[in-house]
Amino acid sequence: MQLEQLGEFALIDLIKRDTINKADSVMIGIGDDAAVLKSTPGRLQLVTTDMLVEKVHFDLSTSSAWQLGYKAIGVNLSDIAAMGGVPNHVVISIALPKHLPVDFVVSLYDGMKEICREFGVNIVGGDTVSSPHGLIINVTVLGEVEADKLQRRSGARVGELVVVTGTLGDSGCGLDLLMQGDWQIYSFASSLVSRHLVPKPQVLQGQMLATLGSTSMNDISDGLASEVNEIAHASNVGMRIYSSLIPLSPELQEAALLFGKTAVHYALYGGEDYQLVFTIAPEKFKVLAQVDIGTPLTVIGEVTERSEGILLVAEDGRTSVLEAKGYNHFC
Amino acid sequence: MQLEQLGEFALIDLIKRDTINKADSVMIGIGDDAAVLKSTPGRLQLVTTDMLVEKVHFDLSTSSAWQLGYKAIGVNLSDIAAMGGVPNHVVISIALPKHLPVDFVVSLYDGMKEICREFGVNIVGGDTVSSPHGLIINVTVLGEVEADKLQRRSGARVGELVVVTGTLGDSGCGLDLLMQGDWQIYSFASSLVSRHLVPKPQVLQGQMLATLGSTSMNDISDGLASEVNEIAHASNVGMRIYSSLIPLSPELQEAALLFGKTAVHYALYGGEDYQLVFTIAPEKFKVLAQVDIGTPLTVIGEVTERSEGILLVAEDGRTSVLEAKGYNHFC
């Protein structure tokens, strides 16, 4: 069946099922003029929003509806993670081409509902409209954070370490593999492609890092180079990032060769890894390093005086300015 | 200058100016991974979202950028108004064709900033992305309400009055005038066209009505017929709406003739008036009627037993079922 046969109200009935995973905080979910939510006394509210446009941010020839739904929510949860916060609620607006099969939309929401279940997040509202062209998805996430756990970009201090979660560059290389088309023939490709299509936001990790002393944090959505620049500028400090320390998966190291790029290039400029980069005092890191936060942590550099600039240190010790160029969908 | 020459960061700098009108409640606005907001202890959180798609919800040949910006925020404030709430913050996602003039975008945000100033609302975040086709705007509004003021659709009780603010049908007829093109030749047209292009959300009115005893409320976005049906179904009651009581502007009564429709038809099925329809006990209404809430109030019907159905009573006393058909952008 196509959407125009189903109609808006039947579609909303389909969407409404299985949307509440944290019922205590919801007085009204989908179905009135606005959702009505209870906030936790003493916590700060977090809100973040992202719009995903077909042919700009995703391509339905390389992503399934389910994967797209999962990722659309995931990238927003990642922003809440980067503030040290707990995501609670999402509202989803979606512009749908009339001839889209209903099954596609159901599968899209199944992906959204799966990640919401995984992270205990409610879907409390949204808007479903018609699109004369492609599919457009807008997700807004509401979260909360305790004031003393809040991770701003501006909290980095000279002498601290720069640390990242997981491995970097996988997603960007996964995208190149998808674009090339014949990635299935490479044994190393599927993990990279998955990292691009269904990235896992580091939500619990962000909260644990904030509790254990991180002083500034970003999620790595636009490539490491861009993210460390944002932290350094906001914190009014310099940074030295050691390229030999950047954590790279063996799969990336193999796959990068296919495209004549280095694995480090993908890590710095590839984008969409949705890992976290943060700063922390060395003595706090000693404690943190003893704790299993569910993903590896790697020290990749240090915070320096602003006057020293933002530098990439090559394996041979030579330094170059680490520019903020990276992944940018806009222009 | 075109957007692709300006670039994303310069655009965000333009957008960031004059976005905070209620500074106390904002810790971080535009510029980090998420906005950080303080909520008021004891209040419930409200959240609503709407997506506006070019050629579906608006047409740039009939609306200026400024008007579009004003309305995009206004329709969402109207949803908060219909809950009896106070709007506090908005986040705005926008997908922009690359070749759009920068002036257009500045003017669009000027319209948004104007209505935000008027209603004391902050713009605290958003997303700016590229669109391969038309312009798409998604607005999410956060608001608050005291629990005992909350206006659900389900609060109507048998014996109460059905009341509306302002006049109805003007916006729908204004849209027909815009579509016809030569509306400037009619002296009555400009107020109707304004009602369509820059509707005023009844934000203070919604709060005052909630304080003075309304028991259920909707904003009239999809036509009166659809809205009273929503309230009646959610409240498990019937309704009698008297067509002769529906408030109609003289301009509408004149303009409706041009299109061979009745003014009441526009009021019932026209949509986008963004007035409020609510229910209230007769004794409470006596008090309310003494208060100037800044817009006229008109009793248009009464709440009946569910078994009596949802009826439209014609001037001659004959009744017909008032169906929920109306303005629906979706299919």
Question: Is A89–B47 a contact, with Cβ atoms under 8 angstroms apart?
Answer: yes
pLDDT of residue A7: 78
CA-to-CA separations, B256 to A131, B48, B92, B171, B263, in angstroms, rounded = 30, 33, 35, 12, 6
Average pLDDT for chain B: 93
A94 vs B contacts (CB less than 8 Å): 51
Question: Is B125–A8 a contact, with Cβ atoms under 8 angstroms apart?
Answer: no
pLDDT of residue B15: 85
For A274, the closest chain B residue by CA position comes to B33
pLDDT of residue B82: 96
CA-to-CA separations, A278 to A60, A82, A257, B184, in angstroms, rounded = 33, 9, 29, 59
| Minimum distance, in Å, between the CA of residue B256 and any CA atom of chain A | 28
Task: Please say if the pLDDT value at position B84 is more than 60.
Answer: yes
A74 vs B contacts (CB less than 8 Å): none
Please enumerate in sequence order all residues whose Cβ is within 8 A of that of B171, keeping only pairs 6 or more positions apart, or say none: B192, B195, B196, B199, B270, B271, B272, B273, B274
pLDDT of residue A197: 96
pLDDT of residue A326: 58
pLDDT of residue A329: 41
Task: Please say if the pLDDT value at position B117 is more than 80.
Answer: yes
Architecture (CATH level 2) of domain B153-321: Alpha-Beta Complex (3.90)
pLDDT of residue A86: 96
| Minimum distance, in Å, between the CA of residue A140 and any CA atom of chain B | 7
| Minimum distance, in Å, between the CA of residue B278 and any CA atom of chain A | 13
Q: Which fold has domain A3-148?
A: 60s Ribosomal Protein L30; Chain: A; (3.30.1330)
Can you tell me the distance from the alpha carbon of A138 to that of A328, in angstroms, rounded to the nearest whole number? 18
Please enumerate in sequence order all residues whose Cβ is within 8 A of that of B9, keeping only pairs 6 or more positions apart, or say none: none
Question: Is A28–B152 a contact, with Cβ atoms under 8 angstroms apart?
Answer: yes
Q: Among A39, A98, A125, whose Cβ lies nearest the Cβ of B48?
A: A125
For residue range B3-24, list pLDDT tens digits in order.
878 877 788 888 888 899 988 8
Residue A319 exposed, middle or buried by CB count within 10 Å (0-12, 13-18, 19+): middle
Low-confidence stretches of chain A (pLDDT < 50) are 328-331
Can you tell me the distance from the alpha carbon of A273 to that of A252, in angstroms, rounded to the nearest whole number? 12
The DSSP bridge pattern shows strands A276-280 and B238-242 to be unpaired
Question: Is B32–A152 a contact, with Cβ atoms under 8 angstroms apart?
Answer: yes
| Minimum distance, in Å, between the CA of residue A93 and any CA atom of chain B | 6
Domain boundaries, chain B: 3-148, 153-321
Please enumerate in sequence order all residues whose Cβ is within 8 A of that of B21, keeping only pairs 6 or more positions apart, or say none: B116, B117, B120, B121, B122
Can you tell me the distance from the alpha carbon of A90 to that of A219, in angstroms, rounded to the nearest whole number? 19
- Report residue B325's pLDDT band, with 50, 70 and 90 as the boundaries: confident
- Report residue B330's pLDDT band, with 50, 70 and 90 as the boundaries: very low
- Give the 3-state secondary structure of residue B293: coil
State the amino acid at position B108 in one-letter form.
L
A58 vs B contacts (CB less than 8 Å): none
- What ipTM was estimated for this complex? 0.91
pLDDT of residue B105: 93
Q: pTM value? A: 0.93
Q: How many residue pairs from chains A and B have C-beta atoms closer than 8 A?
A: 221
Question: Is B57–A126 a contact, with Cβ atoms under 8 angstroms apart?
Answer: no
A93 vs B contacts (CB less than 8 Å): 49-51, 138
